[in-house]
Structure 1
Amino acid sequence: MLKVIPSITVGAMVALSLVACSSPGDTSCDATPPGSHSTSVTVSGKFGSEPKVTMPPAFDVSKTERSVLINGSGAPAQSGDAVDVHYTMYNASTGKQIELAPGTTWQEAKFVTNNAQKESLPGLYSSLLCSHEGDRVVSAIPSSELFGHTQTDMSGAGIGPTDTLVFIFDVSGVGPAPSPSPAPSTTPQPLPTPAAWETDVPKVDLGGDVPVVTLPKADAPTKLLLKVIKEGTGDVVTENSTVTFDYQGTSWNTGKIFDQSYTRGEPATFPVGQLVQGFTAAMVGQKVGATVLVSVPPVYGYGDGAINDQNLVGQTLVFLIQIRKSA
């Protein structure tokens, strides 16, 4: 499963890449044909709900294959249309399901099948072109036709540069693309400075293979707080560092561990700039070898919003971090 730490998740990369201003395209509808691999994926369950998926033995494709398991109705999606879907994603090379966002494997999105996407993301473009409302589509897409244009290392998500990805799309709507919205500001936000965590600090037991963090019976902190459990002695982590670290994340709201590296048997490695802001702030300025505990409020984590069991929005998160290496 995808580690929940990166601020740029797989689902966000896909959705943000596709929801763009539309440009007119050709009006033909030449659907991508099925192949032996797309037809070998078994999918069951109610349309519109996350399906049960049985993956065949590991496989790779050199070009996109597309199979329609449930036939909908209405006009097919033409180039330039918007396609509303729920979707899930698997790595065909490993057979594992990919998290699209923290704690989320079934996500809603609006994709725009315009000429820009045809050039930059041909696999997704051809998967959704000619789809009808009510279709359930299975696509096997080589990663070169999905993430290749971004030049982004997706190894932290369990996606290798030559892996094949399988999407299951439930198409809930097809229609004209929305008018483009103004581009968001790209001005970098300054990194927050954590305050010293001095009261209601969780107890940390590092005596076993998997650390134990015990939260106190207290309200969740509203500020970004940092407790240095052990000072490091190695290189200093900067905002430009790529860091190898072990971590354990616990939700203050649920009291449950939602992700950790310790049970996977190997630390994580990420550029610091790809992590959520509160996590980054906890590491920058620390030295290799340090062990820290940080409380991250929603504003520096996954954003404010109603708390649910689908993601980490609205939750205050506690991370135990052990910094192993920095480059």
Structure 2
Amino acid sequence: MTSKTKLKPLILIPAALAALALSSCSSDDDAAAPSDPTTCPKEAPAPGTKADWTLQGKTGTLDVVAPTDDNAPLITVQGPFTVDQTAVKTLKEGDGDEVTEAMSVTVCYQGVNGRDGNTFDNAFERGEPAGFTPTEVVPGFSKALVGQKVGSTVAVAMTPTDGYGPSGNPQAKIEGNDTLVFALKIVDGY
């Protein structure tokens, strides 16, 4: 893979970051209003929310609670968690266009290191989705996007080869043999 498929510094090429969040005021009336599609929800799922995907790895186990319009995902690693093959799971299928490699997408995502369960990048925490094409991210993230429909929520557990490869990403504390996990929502595609 070329260097442009590496996530820089964490998931995206910095120039691809989109400042899409809109400012809004909160009121009691907002509870009934639909979520703003240009922001990522920051609220954690309720305690005890059942996992939408459980994956037994080569070592360890992974549980993912899917993101919703109102809640960020919850990724729980019991491990260290590793996989021999990249696994992609559609948690909820959207109803938009199918994502292609040539498309630009806007995505809310959280990335967790399978070695220690630590989050290394989190658009949900920032409250802002990021914009990029599937060719601008690591191969495993691209595999989680291409072929999905806009509006889908997806989880991926990727091999080190489909992540940062043998060099890892020291800035993000990712080692060359780390399995990476992402939970994401494809907000828009164009």
Does 2:177 align with 1:322? no
> Which residue of the partner structure matches residue 289 of structure 1?
151
Is the Cα–Cα contact under 8 Å of residues 80 and 115 in structure 2 kept in the other structure? no
- The 3-state SS of whatever aligns with 1:234 is coil
- C-alpha contact 1:241 1:272 (8 A) present in aligned 2: yes
Q: Is 2:15 aligned against 1:154?
A: yes
Gap change, CA 1:311 and 1:198, over 3 Å in 2: closer
Q: What percentage of aligned pairs have identical amino acids?
A: 34
Written as runs of structure 1 = structure 2, the 5 A alignment for 1:1-327 is: 7=6, 9=8, 101-102=9-10, 154-156=15-17, 199=56, 200-204=61-65, 206=67, 209-217=71-79, 219-305=81-167, 311-314=173-176, 315-327=178-190
Amino acid in structure 2 at the alignment position of 1:7: K
Q: What residue ranges of structure 2 are gaps of 5+ in the alignment?
A: 20-53
Give distance in 2, aligned partners of 1:293 and 1:264: 19
Secondary structure of 1:299 counterpart: coil
CA deviation map 1:214-244 (0-9, x unaligned): 1234641121111111111110000101000
**SS in structure 1 of the partner of residue 140 of structure 2:** helix
Compared CA separation, residues 264 and 213, structure 1 to 2 (3 A): same
Contact 2:62 2:75 in 1 (8 A): no
Structure with bigger gyration radius: 1
Please tell me whether the aligned partners of residues 93 and 153 of structure 2 are also in contact (alpha carbons under 8 angstroms). yes
**How does the TM-score come out when normalised to structure 2?**
0.65
The ranges of structure 1 where at least 4 consecutive aligned residues each deviate by more than 4 angstroms after the TM superposition are: 305-310
**Counterpart position of 2:51:** none
| Matched length | 147
One-letter identity of the residue aligned with 1:203: V
Question: CA RMSD for the aligned pairs?
Answer: 3.2
Work out the CA distance in 2 between the residues paired with 1:326 and 1:210: 20
Unaligned runs of 5+ in 1: 10-100, 104-151, 159-196
Give deviations 1:50-85, integer Å, cap 9, x for gaps. Answer: xxxxxxxxxxxxxxxxxxxxxxxxxxxxxxxxxxxx
